[in-house]
Amino acid sequence: MAEWPESFHAIGRALWRGENNLFADARLRAVSGVIQKSALEKWPDIRSLWNDSLRQGDVDISSIQSMHSWYDGLDFTALPFFAWPGMRPYLTGSVFAVGTGMNTNWSVHRAMFLDEGRVAVRVVPRHLHALLKSARQDEVPAVMFFCHEPSVMLAASWPLPGPGGEARLAAALSGEPLELWDVDGIFVPRSSSLVVAGYFNGSTEEEGPFVDATGTLDPARQAPVFVAKRWWLRPDAVIPVIRPGGPEHHYLMGTPRAVAIYEAVSRVTDVVDVFLPPGGAGWLHAVVSVRPRRPGDAVNAGIACMAAHPSLKKVTVVDDDIDIRSADDVQWAVATRCRPDRDIHIISGAAGSTLDPSASGHSSKWICDATVPHGTDMSAFMKYQPDFD
């Protein structure tokens, strides 16, 4: 497993080691690949989970048990924090659970060390933010947990239509029963390495700056404070650490967006595959392969991509003979099939991504049509690759 030992910082007595590059590690690539494929193939079924007519039991959630064994004497100084020189130390693989029962919301957030019992949690304007804002009391019960299950981490990264549902999604992605702990009414995976019960106390502290998915700095801002009350852990606990701007960061953020793009493009033409490449931080660029039905389908596919994932800055559309996960293949398609005066489409005045430092307020986007013109003889555009073996 790839390691960056200089990146780990023990606040104090650090009793457990951190493990990073989880989803990029060779031992888990197969698992991650299966989940990514199943997400693309099963998206219509997964989407149907949010239909109000479906019952809770339609996805197999098993063994909901109460957690009652807690450990004394633990605090945040026992955990391996991620830190770069000049920055505050962080837990980057933490998942926060808020809500009750099967309506418990799971979401991945970085957490900055404040002291032995408190962390400041980076919360963007999504479900956790809405739950904290709408709370009628200052103290909002919450659970912080760490889990190595790819299906759990991916579900906790998924932008679902509303709070809750991540447990069902994790079960659907894995195809296996999901066992849960009941922590004072808040459901969390029993496969967790560490569970910390506590609450958001209604106050904020300055959080940041810290490295974001693009590898650039996310500025300092006020963030809600989580207070730890009780701790449970496995004796052999290993704490997942997501390296900021690294492969697993891109994978967790980008895969749900790839699924949304796949579904959107399928409405306008025949879509084969979608990829958010690491060169675009797994967020700002997309490559989509299609089988165009008529002239203009490639451009429509690019527009559909932008609508499904508004943070996109560039979309490259290629034919289905191109390996979209090979940067060389994609560039070859651009070099041999794209005529800039005809096939580059600039969209001005569009809202940009907050992760793009070049986008201040409004930005621009572009679609690169690297498909063979519809109705053209493909033979002139095929790569000749003789077999010399």
Residues with catalytic function = 212
With beta carbons less than 8 A apart as the criterion, state whether 243 and 225 touch.
no
Contacts of 322 (CB under 8 A, 6+ apart): 289, 329, 330, 332, 333, 370
CA distances from 386 to 114, 320, 333, 337, 349 (A): 61, 20, 19, 21, 46
| Residue 132 burial (10 A CB sphere; 0-12, 13-18, 19+) | middle
* CB-neighbour burial class of residue 279 (10 A; exposed 0-12, middle 13-18, buried 19+): exposed
301, 269 Cβ separation under 8 angstroms: yes
CA distance linking residue 347 with residue 355, whole number of Å: 19
Go through the chain and tell me how many residues it has: 389
* CB-CB contact of 11 with 111 (8 Å): no
DSSP 3-state assignment of 11? coil
Question: Do 110 and 213 meet the contact criterion of CB atoms below 8 Å apart?
Answer: no
C-beta separation of 216 from 357 below 8 A: yes
